[in-house]
Amino acid sequence: MSCVKASESTQSDSGADGRDFNAGSVMQPRAPNPTPKELRNGGRVKANAVDPTGIYKPNNNLLAPHMQSPDYVQLSTAAAITLGIMQGKMYRCDCTRCLNLLLTYPEGCRANCAYCGLARHREAERDYADRNFIRVDWPAVPIDDIVDIVARDVDNTPFHRMCISMITHPKSDRDTVSVLKKWTDRIDPSALPVSILSNPTTMTRDDVVTLKDLGADIFTVALDAATPEIFDRTRGKGVQSPHKWSKYWEILHDAREVFGAQKFGAHIIVGMGETEYDVLQLVQQLVDLGGHSHMFCFFPEQGSLMDHLPATPRDQWRRVQLARYLIDYRDVRVEHMTFDGEGRVADYGLASSELSDVIDAGIAFRTSGCPGKFQEDISACDRPYGDSPPSNIASFPFQPKKKDLKKIRRQLDIPVVVR
C-alpha cells in the first residue's frame, strides 16, 4: 500500500492567480453537504456492529468494524511500517522517529475543520477508520499490541517519541488518560518521551495536570489557523464546528504553566489565507511565552472542505519556514525582519553570510515538531510526506542533501552559492 494518497496534480510552485502566496480572498472553504440522519454519528458502523479482529487496514470498500479507544487506536502509515505491522517503503526514509497515535471511535471526530480529512461532514461518504488524514491512511490497531512490540526492546526502538492525538469526542479526555497509562505501565517515559496533541474544546486545566502527572513530556495545541478570523472560518462557526480561538488559548496558557518552558507548543498551518507577517508574529508570541511552533504547509486534503484550493506555493512556505527557524532557534525577532506591502518577508534580519550558513545547514527546512534524541532543533515527529508529495517536498522528513538545498535556494530566490 502506498503511503501517499493525495493527487500530485494539485502541487504547484504558484498559488491562486499565479501569485507566490495564498491570499486570504481565495482560501475559502466550500460548504459541507448535509449528512442523512441514519448515517450520522457512525450510524452505518454501529448498525452493522462488526466485531474487530486484530489490525484493520483502511479499505473504503469494506465496512469498518466497531473499534474504539482506549482498546483501539489508529496510527500513521509511517508508524505502522516502522513498527513492522504494515509492509511498505517510504521515499528516502528508512523509518519515522515518532509513533503517532490517534484516538478512534465509530462516531469519528465531532468537529468539522475545513482542511481536515477526519472532519465530521465526511461521515456519509467514508467510515471513520477509512478517512485519510494528513495525506495518509491510518490503520487501526489494539493499543496492547503496539505497547507489546515497543516494550519488547525499548533501548533499540527506532522511535524517539510517542504522541497521542486526541480528536473531538466526548470520551477523548478520559481515553487519552487510559492510553497514556497503558503505555507508561510498561514503558518508561524517560526512555521514550510522550507528547500530547490536545483537543482543548473538551478539556479543563485539571485534564492538563493529570496528563503531566502521568508522565507526558510535551503538550501541544493545534491552533492550526494563524489568526482568529481564519480559525473561525475554517474550524469554528464558519463550518459548523465547535472550536473557539479563546478556548484554545486558555488551554495553551494552562499548558505553559503546568508543563513549563520549552515543554509546550502550537501547531500552525501556513497558507490558509494569513500573511507571512501574521504567522511570524504568532511564532514570536509563542517564543516569548517560552514555547515553540510546529508548522505544516497547507495541502488540499482529498475529501476535505478545502480540497479545491491550491497548496501553499513553495516560495511562501520556504520564507516562513526559514524565518520561523530563526525566531525559534537563532534569537532573531520578528521586529528585526522586514516585510513588503503584502506581508511577505523581505529581509530576515540576519547578515547574508549567517543566513547562508543557516540555509546550508538544512535543518530549517526539516519537519518541525517535538524534539527527538538527535538535537533540540530536529523533530522526532518527521511526518513523511504529510504536507506534500515526495516530488515537491515541503517539510523534509530527512536531512536535505546538496541537490535539495539548491532547489530550496531557488524557491527562496536566494542565489545558489557554490562551495
Binding site for ligand SF4 (CB under 6 A): 109, 111, 113, 116, 118-119, 167-168, 235
Number of H helices, E strands in the chain: 11, 10
Residue 99, SS3 per DSSP: strand
Contact by Cβ (8 Å): 316, 272 = no
Element (H, E) at 45: helix 43-48
Residue 171: strand, helix, or coil: coil
CB of 167 to ligand SF4, least distance (A): 5
Between helices 314-329 and 352-361, what is the axis angle to 10°? 100
Of 157 and 234, which CB lies nearer to ligand SF4 in the complex structure?
234
Query: Which residues lie across from 175 on neighbouring strands?
Result: none
Contact indicator for 97, 161 with CB cutoff of 8 Å: yes
Q: What whole-number distance in Å separates Cα of residue 411 and Cα of residue 346?
A: 14
Grid cell, residue 170, equals 466526548
Residue 107 or 217: the one with the smaller Cβ distance to ligand SF4 is 107
Question: Which is nearer to ligand SF4, 109 or 320 (by Cβ)?
Answer: 109
DSSP class per residue in 339-396: E-TTS-EEE-SS-HHHHHHHHHH-GGGBPPSSB-SS-TTSBS---TTSSS-GGG-SSB
Burial class of 344 by CB neighbour count within 10 A (0 to 12, 13 to 18, 19+): middle
Q: Which residue lies nearer to ligand SF4 by CB, 118 or 146?
A: 118
Min dist CB 279 to ligand SF4, Å, is 18
* Closest approach of ligand SF4 to the CB of residue 257, in Å: 23
What residues contact 34, with CB distance under 8 A and at least 6 apart?
none
CB 118, min distance to ligand SF4, A: 4
Smaller CB distance to ligand SF4: residue 123 or 217? 123
Tell me how many degrees the CA angle 148-153-1 measures, rounded to the nearest 5: 65
Supply the minimum distance, in Å, between the C-beta of residue 67 and ligand SF4: 17
β pairing state of 194-198 and 161-165: parallel
Question: Least distance to ligand SF4 from the beta carbon of 212, Å?
Answer: 22
CB-wise, 83 or 118, nearer to ligand SF4? 118
- As beta bridge partners, residue 366 has 396
- CA-nearest of 279, 276, 1 to 132 is 1
CB of 387 to ligand SF4, least distance (A): 14
Closest CA to 345 of 280, 294, 270, 416: 280
* Of residues 390, 397, 354, 402, the one with CA closest to residue 100: 397
Nearer CB in complex with ligand SF4: 118/381: 118
Minimum CB separation of residue 357 from ligand SF4 in Å reads 36
CB of 138 to ligand SF4, least distance (A): 11
Residue 111 three-state SS: coil
Could you tell me the smallest distance in angstroms from the CB atom of residue 111 to ligand SF4? 4
Q: Cell numbers at residue 350, please?
A: 540576519
- Cβ nearer to ligand SF4, comparing 175 with 315: 175
